[in-house]
Amino acid sequence: MKFNNTSLQRSECRFSGEARDQAASSSTEGRAPQKRKRLLSSGPALLVAAVASLTAASLLTACTTLTVDFVYVTSSKAAGPNNYGLVDVFEINSESGKMRQIPASPFPSGGRLPIAEAVSSDNGNLFVVNEDDNSIVQFVIGSDGKLYPFNTVNTPGIFPVGVATTKTDLFVIDTYQPLPICSDADPCSGSIAVYPFNAASGSNPITLGTPLTNTANSAQYWPLSLPGSADIIVPTGVSVLASGAYVYVTAYDSSVTPFAGYVFAFSVGSDGALTQVAGSPFAAGIQPTAVAGDPSSGYLYVTDYASANVRAYAVGASGGLTSVSGSPFATGNEPTAIVVDPSYPYAYVANSLDATVTAYSISNGVLTSLGNYTTGTDPVAIGIDPSTEHFLFTANFLGNNVNGFELSTTAGTLIDSQFSPFSASTNPTAVAAIPHNGTGGGLSK
């Protein structure tokens, strides 16, 4: 990423950020702004002071455009009579990486226990999955980052835990299939469903259509199960390749000891319908927790919570998976989330037990550790800013905060963002982000 600002301008912008904080504080305390006076009749001293004030005001105006991204962090904290979770909305400062909540934040998540989230490809909508309500809440995102609830749909199955989107579809995984016998008291295997997007119309945004029907079972879901087995398969994560051609679901067999991990692979048809890839599911350690593809759609990475490693796979021409040489690669203890930089050859894994992020360089799918970096307690979600790929953040479930890092695009290493960590609502669970006004505040990579 290239910065065109001088050191003086950076200092001035940080100062004006403090001035903005003070201005907000003054407004809260009810102090009315002073009236402007005529400059020409007020003497040299007042003229100098007024010019200085105008300069500071211009800096304040300029630096308010330094918001590079909006980051959405779901939290399971109950809010209000409906016991809804919350969505904290942070803005990232492009100079320092400082994250601060926008004035109206947090927003109700529209359901209980928000567990996952994703944004539409046009960055205009946020979809929040609420596990305890079996619901997906669609929020329209304002130009200022604020959230406006627009629509709510129920998932076909029970207890949704993951979501991913393409330009045309939304994919959601449920802990249990939508069968009358499925419950915590009598668990069954999970499933994946596909919602096509209805095109935006007039002033209305895109909306979720009716879930697609799986012609194999005449139902609105695809089961996650082992052929010829009644074992309980528990889904944990879902990811769509950048190409949109294949979707992958991590899951584990909870009926055996130790657990047995798998990756279920599906090809995505032109209408969004799924077809299980030959050879699927593929072995994936003991208890996989998260999955992410690289920007070339040539490699897939899966974290294994129980084995403290990340498995790397090459994606074949038909979506099948083969292990990369040297895989698996060591992580910290209890890895829970992974993100791959969309523009640079780096991957980052959040280790929940160690409260660290492990950084890796990527070469032909092979991961090489670059070091570990401290986070708050129990990081469970991780993301990279979509505007510049220069900032990384984690949501720390037991720390009740968010860590921010500046990412070296030439080395892949991390340093703490200014004033990190940043307070969040209780028990944050997931992260998603969009560029500010779709442009990243004018910054270039």
**Sequence-ordered alpha helix ranges (H) in 233-336:** none
Quote the mean pLDDT of the chain.
Answer: 86
pLDDT tens-digit readout, 229-250: 999 999 999 999 999 999 999 9
The length of the chain in residues reads 445
Q: Residue 155 — pLDDT band, cuts 50, 70, 90?
A: very high
- Architecture of the structural domain at 68-442: 7 Propeller (2.130)
Find, among 346, 334, 443, the residue nearest to 378 by Cα. Answer: 334
What are the tens digits of pLDDT across the range 413-442? 999 999 999 999 999 999 999 998 653 333
**Of 434, 370, 437, which Cα lies nearest the Cα of 407?**
370
Question: CB-based burial of residue 65 (10 Å sphere; 0-12 exposed, 13-18 middle, 19+ buried)?
Answer: middle
Residue 51 has pLDDT above 70, yes or no: no
Question: Residue 316 CB: number of other CB atoms within 10 A?
Answer: 15
Confidence at residue 212, expressed as pLDDT on a 0 to 100 scale: 98
pLDDT surpassing 90 at residue 128: yes
Beta-bridged to residue 150, according to DSSP, are none
Six-digit token pair at 192? 């994946």
- Residue 58 predicted with pLDDT over 70: no
Q: 314 forms bridges with which residues in the sheet?
A: 299, 322
Q: Which residue has the higher pLDDT, 244 or 20?
A: 244
Residue with the larger pLDDT of the pair 403 and 54: 403
pLDDT for 257 beyond 60: yes
- Against a cut of 0.75, is the pTM above it? yes
Residue-wise pLDDT tens digits, 86-126: 999 999 999 999 999 999 999 999 999 999 999 999 999 99
With 0-12 / 13-18 / 19 or more C-beta atoms within 10 angstroms meaning exposed / middle / buried, residue 347 is buried
